[in-house]
Amino acid sequence: MTAHLMNRNRSSRLGTRRPAPPALVLVGHGSRDPRALSTVRTLMERIRELRPGLPLHLGHIELNEPLLPDTLAALGTGDAVLVPLLLSRGHHVKRDIPEAAAASQAHTRIAGPLGPHPLLVETLYERLVEAGWRTPDAAERRTSAVVLAAAGSRDPDAAVDTRRTAGLLADRLGVPVVPAYASASAPTVADAVRAFAARGRPRVAVASYFTAPGRFATECAAAAPGLASPPLGAHPAMAHLTLHRYDEALTNTLAATA
């Protein structure tokens, strides 16, 4: 043990350092709403606080700069893990991000989307509580429900992921939760609210399943009959989840090459 410490101290005196970790590239969708970019930048600061020294970059799929290809070009031939700030599998995760990575010179690994994951469910729960949700008593539980408002996708895997999150949130809340979508899929939030009311559940809250404010999140909240939570945003759990996906991608790569 003493010899090991002496060798380690000697290496330190000689200036030997651990290699820098691969950069973490946050891949945002992009939005014309300026609050979205502000939210992502706040999330980046939370990640920096959790893991100082980790190279951290941002690239967007569309609408905001820097665009992902430009971010990857700036990395040259460096190592990077791309973490999509997306909540399910879909076209962007399966095609857009891999194609951008393949076209760059950087040595990249692509992490899975953020969802589904229990940390997202806890974030959804806390956002609902912030908006005024309270645990219903036995009588209220029979008339209560939640609509999980998501962006929507034509990819069936995206719907599977969103339904799984809805199921986890239902377990957390103790009331029925159904997904509804802003585009590309059915039902809409308004349709889901009406369906619950027809089943004798008029006390309906809308949980915003969006990473940041934007047009879809605003439209879904406007369709709520009452309580609507804000987007997931830069909640501390989102920073922890982003780092979890980063670490997961590195671990999976090491396991695959072992």
- Note the pLDDT of residue 255: 62
DSSP-assigned letter for residue 25: E
Work out the burial of residue 181: count CB atoms within 10 Å of its CB; fewer than 13 is exposed, 13-18 middle, 19 or more buried.
buried
Q: What's the CA angle centered on 113, arms 108 and 115, to 5 degrees?
A: 160
> Is 6's pLDDT higher than 60?
no
- Residue 182 one-letter amino acid: A
- Note the pLDDT of residue 19: 80
Task: Write the pLDDT tens digit of every residue in 121-159.
Answer: 999 999 999 999 999 999 999 999 999 999 999 999 999
Percent of the chain with pLDDT over 70: 91
- Note the pLDDT of residue 11: 41
- Note the pLDDT of residue 198: 98
Structure tokens at 32: 């014309």
> pLDDT-based confidence at 35, cuts 50/70/90?
very high
- Note the pLDDT of residue 9: 45
DSSP-assigned letter for residue 77: T
Those residues with Cβ within 8 angstroms of residue 13's Cβ, 6 or more apart along the chain or in another chain: none
Task: Write the pLDDT tens digit of every residue in 84-110.
Answer: 999 999 999 999 999 999 999 999 999
Structure tokens at 162: 């969103």
In the set 4, 29, 60, 244, the catalytic residue is 29
Q: What is the value of pTM for the model shown? A: 0.90
- Note the pLDDT of residue 257: 53
- Note the pLDDT of residue 252: 87
Question: Does residue 29 have an active-site annotation?
Answer: yes
